[in-house]
Structure 1
Amino acid sequence: MLEYLQSKEQEMLFLLERLVNKDSGSHYKKGVDAIGKILSHEYKLLNFVVNTVEQTEVGNHLLIRHQEAKTPQIIILCHLDTVFSEGTAKDRHFTIRGSRAYGPGVIDMKGSLVTLLYALKALIEVGEEKAYHNVHILLNSDEEIGSTTSNVLIENMALGKRYALVMEPARPDGSIVSSRRGGGNYALRVYGKAAHAGISPEDGISAIEEISHKIIKLQQLNQFMNGVNVNVGIVRAGESANVICPYAEAYIDVRIDKMEQGILIDQEIRKICATANVPGAILELQGSINRNPMVKDEGTVRLLNVIQEAGEEIGIQIKDVSTGGNSDASFTSTVGVATIDGLGPIGGNAHSEDEYIEIPSLVERALLLAKVIKKLSE
């Protein structure tokens, strides 16, 4: 498999360039679906069946399995979307500098889309039918915006599976992810009443004053030592200094270490936002805890051991880390499937102008993934 993948490195780079140079931001359905069509074609050439789950607001989700697969025990998750808006690829197209490639979404996670495809090609090349018949792949289109249309699909696909392999990129040092914090997002909107601040301030209802009360109370929910973090990260309000502000909005990020913390913190947020401090102000709260923690339980440890053994066989020492970031790994973990994340290639600076992938890791991580699939299928 190593020889095969090494012979295909330029081919992998060519496919990566095609994917990176197509915009596929979460809200740009046309671009996401274009990425999906490229990959659908590639999988169909390998005799994989691609089922499309049509969406209206975001890109379509793709369910992929070999035409002879019966009851695959491994679910593999990749996402088609990026965080970048339409036009980004034209302004900052795929480039190679030294041993790194750069471009929007190159590591999160278009590189993973390439390594997954070629890991399966390598298994097919050496005749490992038992392995490539044992995977059920989901390419979803909305991971970067919370997987709001695909989370139930992920959980339903995961039921009955033994292992979940999630293709978020490896850490810059090559580590994979064995646990993640859970969390959620909320939007608080406050409606007041405009009035001239000099002529008739008594006629106004300040949305800024009201939302200020709420921000202080929300920030007081933080329990850093216990693993609960609440952050009001964005606040928008006001049109002019001489106008009593009629509208304000705040966006809230929540992170938790334990599933039960999510229930309690959700209750507290809703309690705070249920009643106005400023008479006449109207409050509207949207959002929820949408990802439970990905837990490093006994099943995950056993899966990690298999991955580390596969790494040793190809000369790679695999370390694991915990991270505060969210991913779709939380959904498979929630339904009790042993889950490991960060199995994509190595890179860094995701979501930024300097996003990059380490080119040698395309072959390395495709080989690792193929070995893992093979070992899990024996």
Structure 2
Amino acid sequence: MDVQSKETEMLDLLERLVNIDSGSNYKVGVDQVGSELIPYFQKMGYEITKMKQDEAGDHLVITHPAKKKASILIVAHMDTVFEEGTAAKRPFSVREGRAYGPGVIDMKASLVSVIYALRYLQEIGSTAYQDLQVILNSDEEIGSLTSRPIIEKEAIGKSYALIMEPARRDGSVVTERRGSGRFTIEVHGKAAHSGIEPEKGRSAIEELAHKIVKLHELNDHEHGISVNVGMIEGGNAVNTISATAIGHLDVRVATLKQAEEVEHKIEEVCASSDVTGTEIELSGDMRRPPMLKNKKIEKLFHIVKHVGAELGIDIKDTKTGGGSDASFTSAMGIPTIDGLGPIGGNAHSDKEYLEISSLTERTLLLAKVIERLVEKENK
């Protein structure tokens, strides 16, 4: 099988996937993506276990019966950040060597890449495609709340984890990520007319403003700590003292120690009110630990780099502040490489794109990396 010759049918599958709305909170669409993919794996002899979910899409755990204990875990997600109706407004399109559409690079192109990498291995007679397990999860974009336990359970005993987030724009894979957390601050005050009897009110918005200032003082960008209240809600009329206000907080850290310290400081900030008569409810936690580039990850990267060189690709690595499921496997001590998907950019926006030339190139790279890792395990 020549992967390059499959580009047209790969793009056909990608078009079908992109034109399915599969936002994290749109279960029907995410499950439809899964239904599109399942037959491809079944045709190669894989067994699919659906991990049923009430609200998120069903997660898929895909294994080959020929190998009871697989050595490689591949993780990719089927959900996107886009709301229902986006695909109809902005369907899959191709222009000047790039493909566009909601989720085209993050990460529906990677779903296609996984399938065709495994097909390639099967068709050239390599049994390496059997020595792995694939998890397709449905809530990565909202923190992998229900899929994290599945990923961590299936990762036990694996020698390597390959995470299929897209490669960076320059083609780099990812060997280091910051940890991340999400928190919600809900403030309760007392409503009153701001013109007639303002003294009877207790402003929840004022209290939230105090908290935002104190939380933003926790920023230490030089050392990788980012604290940002990115969304606020509150009040119901301009002439009313607000009875409620809500702040949504995003946190990024570079180390596990920072995660513990920042979470404690957030709790301290929200432990007492600055505006008398208001009450604060804090919820949330640090969702993903940081992915730290250690010796195991370094060794795995050098394998990927060497395989790339054999294919004429100069593979570089990088670190990023964004989160992914790579954090879970790396925190378990499993050698993990992320960003093994095709190349593109502008993810999560209406300008999201895939560099079409990278689709077959990175698919072959993935296949050859799998083959090399299985060979290494069997020595």
Coarse TM-score class (shorter-chain normalised): over 0.9
What is the Cα deviation at residue 83 of structure 1? 0.3
Please give the residue correspondences for 1:255-294 in structure 2 after superposition, counting only pairs within 5 Å.
Answer: 255-294=252-291
**Structure 1: gaps of 5 or more residues:** none
Counterpart for residue 17 of structure 1: 15
Counterpart for residue 199 of structure 1: 196
What is the Cα deviation at residue 212 of structure 1? 1.2
Q: Percent identity?
A: 53
Please give the residue correspondences for 1:66-81 in structure 2 after superposition, counting only pairs within 5 Å.
Answer: 66-81=64-79
Please give the residue correspondences for 1:1-378 in structure 2 after superposition, counting only pairs within 5 Å.
Answer: 1=1, 4-129=2-127, 131-378=128-375
Q: Write the distance in 1 (CA, Å) between the matches of 2:239 and 2:130.
A: 68
| Aligned-partner SS, 2:73 | strand
- The TM-score with structure 2 as length reference comes to 0.97
What is the Cα deviation at residue 67 of structure 1? 2.2
Q: Write the distance in 2 (CA, Å) between the matches of 1:141 and 1:182.
A: 20
Name the amino acid aligned to 2:241.
I
Deviations 1:119-138 (A, max 9, x none): 00000001111x11111110
Moved more, 65-74 or 110-119: 65-74
Q: Write the distance in 2 (CA, Å) between the matches of 1:358 and 1:276.
A: 51
| Aligned-partner SS, 2:125 | coil
Whether the 8 Å contact between 1:170 and 1:343 is mirrored in structure 2 is yes
What is the Cα deviation at residue 226 of structure 1? 2.2
Q: Write the distance in 2 (CA, Å) between the matches of 1:179 and 1:340.
A: 9
Name the amino acid aligned to 2:40.
E
Q: Write the distance in 1 (CA, Å) between the matches of 2:222 and 2:65.
A: 50
What is the Cα deviation at residue 225 of structure 1? 2.2
Deviations 1:239-269 (A, max 9, x none): 2221111111111111111011111111111
Name the amino acid aligned to 1:114.
V
Whether the 8 Å contact between 1:70 and 1:133 is mirrored in structure 2 is no
Q: Write the distance in 2 (CA, Å) between the matches of 1:42 and 1:189.
A: 46
| Aligned-partner SS, 1:255 | strand
The CA RMSD over aligned residues, in Å, is: 0.9
Q: Write the distance in 1 (CA, Å) between the matches of 2:222 and 2:177.
A: 17
| Aligned-partner SS, 1:8 | helix
Aligned residues: 375
Whether the 8 Å contact between 1:21 and 1:89 is mirrored in structure 2 is yes
Name the amino acid aligned to 1:240.
A
**Structure 2: gaps of 5 or more residues:** none
Q: Write the distance in 1 (CA, Å) between the matches of 2:227 and 2:19.
A: 36
Deviations 1:94-133 (A, max 9, x none): 111121111000000000000000000000001111x111
Whether the 8 Å contact between 1:25 and 1:31 is mirrored in structure 2 is yes
Q: Write the distance in 1 (CA, Å) between the matches of 2:83 and 2:335.
A: 34
Deviations 1:143-196 (A, max 9, x none): 000001111111111111111100000011111101001010111011111101
Q: Write the distance in 2 (CA, Å) between the matches of 1:132 and 1:212.
A: 54
What is the Cα deviation at residue 238 of structure 1? 2.3
Name the amino acid aligned to 2:276.
P
Q: Write the distance in 2 (CA, Å) between the matches of 1:229 and 1:152.
A: 26
Deviations 1:253-289 (A, max 9, x none): 1111101111111111111112112122121111101
Moved more, 27-36 or 151-160: 151-160
Q: Write the distance in 1 (CA, Å) between the matches of 2:194 and 2:346.
A: 45
